[in-house]
A and B are shown apart, each in its own frame.
Chain A
């Protein structure tokens, strides 16, 4: 078994999760507290990857990223980046594809906090950003953990989008889920099984850790 696809998968998932955390925090904050009426529209757009077939999303991203179309050409001209059939392209696509898995838990976590926490911090003289980092986030640990894990796991499990815009280039875009598919196609069931087993075990261990940790968090915060 070539470990390359596994390594690529986890690198992609880790990068996607990191980028999404930075992007989703302000977005979730805005969604949780804004009174802007157009909020539902934004929520619906963010939620699209949840229901859209990955091949549909992949297809449109393929068109968008392609240098023969305006956006892809512009990216290539300004940043020197080609997003089709490349690792950076996979990262960008994964960020879009996993966006709701990061934003929704964070938003729900923020909304579940009593408004008085935020207001108390304001009356104690703290700015919005200080309140966000020192009061709101520390009390959403469980939501943050859930968001991180869901995003990571969802990116690991990505298949349709990757295949559409990344193809199957070893060491560049051939992630584990695609490798499994290839090995099955070639009737190499034992190699496919090795990849599958690694993903299976890693995913299970992550979830086990999350539940253990989350239960502990909950116990500390809400003793009987």
Chain B
């Protein structure tokens, strides 16, 4: 578990709503890790994933995977996505509309690979009954399961492909309801153990991040601003000052001596009485950690 699997140094230019922003990242991923990539939209998370898969060519960079070099712009090495053998799950699932569920999976097989793995994956994702359907006849959760299964076909089929099993997931569960999300998180964790996968996933969901990841990279405007275990990145303060609650401001009203804040916390709406000076920053949509210390509540903003 301790050896470095991916060694990544990349410089690229991101096109964002506010113009060109340089993407500048250096990080390492250990074999078998689940790494969460998070940060505000436009920070470069998806681009980073696409750079790793070889779908985008960076201006400067080195990507080393085990003993292989996927990318070295100085030495003009650029391994095409076909040969990087990563499983990639797209935000829009990217299922082939003209193929059935089963055909979507068998499409991923390489010549000479045993199709038995397709049945195995279909049964694990409980898609056996739906194998003959086209993607348009599936719900979002079902489509997502097909996309996840398809991303693994090539890596699991016998004779197995040499090299690491890397799975890149771009906000894979964001469009699903909570129940489906929990079930798929469970499936991912199962697969991670069973198949020794190394996973990098983009996510905005803190609960998901804590549930799945053992390492977090926080990306802001193209730069890695924080890195570490989820606990280290998000909850250090919580350990020192007692439990905190994650919330999102819905509305705020200023009263004579306090601010009355309506916030979404743990799936329910709560009315908080907070010190008046906090009212100004309580704009709807902001996310925060709320902790109660001995004297007064402490509010920490999450960008």
Residues of A within 8 A of B (CB): 114, 116-117, 119-127, 134-135, 138-139, 220-223
Say which residue of A117, A119, A123, A125 sits within 8 Å of B110 (CB atoms): A125
User: 12 pairs across A/B with beta carbons < 8 Å?
Assistant: A116-B92, A119-B88, A120-B95, A121-B96, A121-B107, A122-B54, A123-B55, A124-B153, A125-B154, A135-B96, A138-B98, A221-B98
Best-buried of A119, A122, A125 by chain B (most CB within 10 Å): A125
Smallest CB-CB A-B distances: 5 pairs? A116-B94, A120-B94, A123-B88, A122-B81, A138-B98
B53 part of interface (Cβ distance < 8 Å):
yes
Q: Please give 12 more A-B residue pairs, beta carbons under 8 A apart, in addition to A116-B94, A123-B151, A126-B107.
A: A116-B91, A116-B92, A117-B94, A119-B55, A119-B81, A120-B94, A120-B95, A122-B54, A123-B87, A125-B110, A221-B97, A222-B136
Q: Is B85 an interface residue (CB 8 A)?
A: yes
Say whether B108 faces chain A, with CB atoms less than 8 Å apart. yes
Give the nearest-CB partner of B88 in chain A: A123
- Least Cβ distance of B218 to chain A in Å? 25
Complex Cα–Cα for A222 and B54 (A): 31
Residues of B within 8 A of A125 (CB): 82-83, 85, 108, 110, 154
Contact residue among A117, A126, A220 (Cβ-Cβ distance under 8 Å from B82): A126
Q: Which residue of A lies closest to B98 (CB)?
A: A138
Q: In the complex, which of the residues A121, A124, A139 contacts B97, with contact meaning CB atoms closer than 8 Å? A: A139
The smallest C-beta distance from A189 to any residue of chain B, in angstroms, reads 50
Contact B96 A117 (CB under 8 A): yes
Chain A residues with CB under 8 A of B94 = 114, 116-117, 119-120
Interface residue SS majority, chain A: helix
Bin chain B's interface residue count: 20 to 34
A120 pairs with B88, CB closer than 8 A = yes
Q: What residue in chain A is nearest B83 (Cβ atoms)?
A: A125
CB closest chain-B residue, reference A140: B98
B interface residues with partner A (beta carbon < 8 Å):
50, 53-55, 80-88, 90-92, 94-98, 107-108, 110, 134, 136-137, 150-151, 153-154
Q: Which residues of B contact A117 (CB under 8 A)?
A: 94, 96
**For B87, what are the chain A residues with a Cβ–Cβ distance below 8 Å?**
123
- Collect the chain B residues with CB atoms within 8 Å of residue A116's CB: 90-92, 94
The listed residue (A119, A124, A139) touching B150 by CB distance below 8 A is A124
CA–CA, A222 and B135, complex, Å: 10
The complex places the Cα of A124 from the Cα of B84 at a distance, in Å, of 10
- Smallest Cβ-Cβ distance to B92: which chain A residue: A116
Residues of B within 8 A of A120 (CB): 88, 90, 94-96
CB closest residue in chain B, given A120:
B94
Closest to A221 in B: B97
Contacts of A126 in B (CB 8 A): 82, 107
B107 partner residues in chain A, CB cutoff 8 A? 121, 124, 126, 134
Bound state CA distance, A138 and B151, in angstroms? Answer: 21
Contact among A119, A121, A223 for B137, CB-based, below 8 A: A223
Give Cα A223 to B50, complex, Å. 30
User: Contact partner of B86 among A114, A123, A222, CB < 8 A?
Assistant: A123
Closest Cβ–Cβ distance, residue B177 to chain A (whole Å): 20
Please, which residues of chain A bring their CB within 8 A of the CB of B53? 119, 123
Point out the residues of chain A lying under 8 angstroms from B97, CB to CB. Answer: 139, 221
Considering the complex, give the chain B residue whose CB is closest to the CB of A135: B96
Q: Given the interface contacts A119-B81, A221-B97, A223-B136, does A124 sit within 8 Å of B90 by beta carbon?
A: no
User: If the complex has contacts A122-B80, A123-B88, A127-B82, are A139 and B110 also in contact, measured as CB distance less than 8 A?
Assistant: no
Chain A residues within an 8 Å CB radius of B82: 122-123, 125-127
Q: Which residues of B contact A122 (CB under 8 A)?
A: 54-55, 80-82
Q: With A and B bound together, what is the CA distance between A122 and B83 in angstroms?
A: 9
Nearest neighbor of B82 in chain A, beta-carbon distance:
A125
**Residues on the A chain within 8 Å of B85, using CB:** 125
Contacts of A119 in B (CB 8 A): 50, 53, 55, 81, 88, 90, 94
Q: A213 CA to B90 CA in the complex, in Å? A: 31
